Amino acid sequence: MKILHFSDPHTGGGAGDWRAYFDKRIVGVFNYRFRRRFKMDLNRLAAMVEYVQANPVDVVVCTGDLTSTGQPGEFAAVKEYLRPLRDSGTPFLYVPGNHDCYVKRPSCVRAMEEMVGWLSRGSYVFSDMPLMRTVGECDFILLNSSFPSNLLCSWGKVRGRDVELVEKWCSGEKKRPRILVGHFPLQEAHPILRFRHRLYGQKKLLELLRSGAIDLSLCGHVHRPTDRLDGRGRGESIAGSICANGVASLITYDQGKDVFGLERLEFKR
Ligand SMILES: [Fe+2]
Ligand SMILES: [Fe+2]
């Protein structure tokens, strides 16, 4: 089984409406204008889409931050890049990142929710999460941990009731490997230094990963690709930013050997 995992394209743009100058979006717009747009190259996302069209996979996983400030115009722009994948019929699993849930403005929340339903071709909606879905030989647990936060923070939170559900799903007999799909890494190497950027409420999920109840955690948020995998390919894999670093992950699962493999794909055009 083949899984294409990518993350953090961070489509950006200007303020979509005048209210953006009076909420957190102004920080994101400023950040994009003066910093991010020089690093992010959407041609790399286009190259990845072309690759997947030529080399089909069983499922595409996107772990969020499609946008920079979660505005409708940014979702509309990234949609055009992803349309060929979405229309190909390949299952597409997307969880939003903190930048996709940037502010509480109803038009922005609506655009994010519409994106979830559009990419999944209506097979799940935002409010269905957390949810468990079997695709091919694996069970995928889709978890949202992104919520609007204050001006200075890009942290995430796993809600208690979501932890309970995931624990329940992981307590039964394991029929297939379980892959957790979330935006934030469960493991944080510098929890104090990165207190404004890390995930909270995830301790029990990390225990499930360490005990093997969860086989693989696929995530983004951190833009440099990073893996903490054991000899059987179990652990956590951060895809890195497709547009900043031109990387995505091709994950294979060999059911006979019960082993995951990971190959980094590079899209540098
Ligand atoms: Fe990001
Ligand atoms: Fe993020």
The DSSP secondary structure of 62-99, one letter per residue, reads E-S--BSS--HHHHHHHHHHHHHHHHTT--EEE---TT
The Cα–Cα gap between 264 and 246 comes to 10
How far does residue 33's CA lie from ligand 2's centre (Å)? 18
Ligand (nearest to CA of 97): 2
What's the confidence (pLDDT) of residue 189?
A: 84
How far does residue 262's CA lie from ligand 2's centre (Å)? 22
In this model, does residue 213 exceed pLDDT 90?
yes
Mean pLDDT of 139-158: 90
Share of the chain above pLDDT 70, in %: 90
Ligand (nearest to CA of 156): 2
- Name the residue among 44, 85, 42, 39 with its Cα closest to residue 62: 85
* 63-80 pLDDT, tens digit each: 999 999 999 999 999 999
What's the confidence (pLDDT) of residue 193?
A: 83
What's the confidence (pLDDT) of residue 33?
A: 63
In this model, does residue 19 exceed pLDDT 70?
no
Mean pLDDT of 113-142: 98
Ligand (nearest to CA of 243): 1
* 41-54 pLDDT, tens digit each: 999 999 999 999 99
How far does residue 24's CA lie from ligand 2's centre (Å)? 15
Mean pLDDT of 133-143: 98
Which residues does residue 180 pair with via DSSP β-bridges, in sequence order?
141, 217
**Which residues lie at CB < 5 A from ion ligand 2?**
65, 97-98, 221
The Cα–Cα gap between 163 and 150 comes to 24
Ligand (nearest to CA of 10): 1
In this model, does residue 25 exceed pLDDT 90?
no
- Alpha-carbon Rg for the chain, nearest whole angstrom, is 17
Of the two residues 23 and 83, the one the predictor is more confident about is: 83
Mean pLDDT of 129-150: 95
Domains of the chain in start order, with CATH, are: 2-266 (3.60.21.10)
How far does residue 266's CA lie from ligand 1's centre (Å)? 18
What's the confidence (pLDDT) of residue 13?
A: 67
Q: Which of 15-19, 192-196, 220-224 has the lowest mean pLDDT?
A: 15-19
Name the token pair of 108: 């922005």
What's the confidence (pLDDT) of residue 38?
A: 63
Selection from 39-43, 154-158, 250-254 with the highest mean pLDDT: 250-254
Name the token pair of 69: 């400030």
- Secondary structure letter of residue 236 according to DSSP: E
How far does residue 218's CA lie from ligand 1's centre (Å)? 14
How far does residue 20's CA lie from ligand 1's centre (Å)? 20
The answer for 72, left when phi > 0, alpha when psi is -120 to 50, beta otherwise, is alpha
In this model, does residue 28 exceed pLDDT 70?
no
- Name the residue among 220, 212, 215 with its Cα closest to residue 5: 220
Question: Do the beta carbons of residue 218 and residue 184 sit within 8 Å?
Answer: no
Amino acid identity for residue 51 in this structure: Y
The Cα–Cα gap between 33 and 13 comes to 8
Amino acid identity for residue 89 in this structure: G
Peptide bond preceding 130 in cis form (omega within 30 of 0): yes
First CA to last CA distance, the chain: 27
* 160-181 pLDDT, tens digit each: 999 999 999 999 899 999 999 9
Question: Do the beta carbons of residue 14 and residue 25 sit within 8 Å?
Answer: no
pTM for the model: 0.93
Number of H helices, E strands in the chain: 7, 13
Mean pLDDT of 211-220: 98
Number of Cβ atoms within 10 Å of the Cβ of 243:
28
Total residues found in the chain within this entry: 269
How far does residue 254's CA lie from ligand 2's centre (Å)? 30
Mean pLDDT of 206-217: 98
Name the token pair of 126: 């935002």
Q: Which of 33-47, 160-174, 235-249 has the lowest mean pLDDT?
A: 33-47
Burial class of residue 235 (count of CB atoms within 10 Å of its CB; 0-12, 13-18, 19+): buried
